[in-house]
A and B are shown apart, each in its own frame.
Chain A
Amino acid sequence: MNDLGTPGEMTSPGDEALLADIGRFMDELDPPPGDLVQRVQFALALENLDVEVARWERMDATAGVRGSDTGTITFTVSDLTVMINLTKIGKKHRIDG
């Protein structure tokens, strides 16, 4: 015997009561780590950067430098545009931008 006030309520709570308890524990004892949201947002921001860089590379590949000796390539990323000039000098290319 012990002197718990309401042993019946204590030892056999109803389904709803138990589920309510579990729900409370999930939030109180097992919440997502406090900085998880920020870390995910940061990871997504980084991923976004990758996409922007990739867009550069793709444009590079498709725009390419055609057979001629000089060419102009334009890179665009968000609101920034970079244009560079390629001039073939012998075996090398000169780059002006």
Chain B
Amino acid sequence: MKPIITAAAVLALLVSSCARKDQGVVLNDWNFGGRPRLMEWLRTRVATFEAAHPGVHVVQSQKSWNMIREILYADFSAGTGPDIVNVHANYAAEFGGAGYYYPVNTFPDFEQVKRWYVPCMMEATRYGDNYYGLPSSAIAFVLVCNKELFDREGIAPPRTWSEFREAARRLTKDTDGDGVVDQYGLVLMGGDRGGFAYRLVPFFFKAGAAVMTDDMKHVTFNTPGGIAAVRLMADMYQVDHSVTPGFLAYTLTEVNDLFCSNRVAMSIEGPWFRGMVEDKSPGKKFYTVPVPVPDDRIGAADTAATLQDMVMYAINAHTAHPREAWELLKYLRNEEADMAWIREDLGATATTRAALASPEAAALDDLPLYVHEAAHARPWPSHPKMIAIAYDIFAPYAEKAIVGELSPEEAMDQASREAQELIEGKR
């Protein structure tokens, strides 16, 4: 009898030691990318949420933005993944459509929450009849101009393509007189296909060109406006030599280094760039202006679209705690929280009406421009194959056209043909 009792006691001890301590509700929150200040702010915000919601524990994880799709696909398709996650809003089509995101419009107070946000930003989280998240930060692509170089040359930031080309030409020069050009008008980011595509497409949109038809059945890289945008870059590279010759190898790191060291005068960037420049070269000034429009569209310059990228917070459709996840989502993205995007440089633009209308917002240099551009901006078409097309087809063909391996017409024709084959399942 004694051995049986001993064995039972040992077994009970083992079982009790293996049992998980009851932590109440545990929410996993994954954050992709972001500036250190944003991560710090998120930690503090989550700590106050936990204090206000006893019994809810939030586990935060920081992950690489570069691996976002791979990580999310792997986890969501395995039926796991975090309870809440920050992602590109244009993933609403791909992941929302596949049933991986929770339709937040099913929460009873959604209509009230929806009114916090600028309508076009809220709409970016919608796919079909459902909304799949709350806007986190808005990103409109603009032209940044190195103030020191522009002022030294006595020229104003360009508004049209011909002014843009002329400015780049004048700002390309041999500054130390050794016979070698050491300052260039424009830098592109060819070493990161996604980054390159995101910086070229604003020129398509400014020219009134779309990359897909509205019904998303046909790819239209080869419309006259698109071809003209590629030809502009090709001429600047091949004829004017005003684009950095090594751009095909550059990522954002090199772009920032070149900009901060006054080796380039212009780049296509977004709200994250100010913080990056400030970190590298404190006090450095630059002009932030809309991406130039073709000369014949100067009349529509105020409303010509640029590319919009939006980050949203989404809830995993398979979360065990949707109600708590929704509470956390609202707490991270309510009007009070959004003021952090105004008061601190978190690398993107606020998205709530209250924050954008606040007196503090009025005092920010770039904000009115970003808000204006975001109001007229367009995202990539919400087609599930769009990201693969942009990275793997559009970017390499556009690069071939810029360096002269193909003409802009040939490159965009081939890109359209291959992309069409991809969406029709022939590749």
Do A and B truly interact? no
Question: Which residue numbers of A lie inside 8 Å of B, CB to CB?
Answer: none
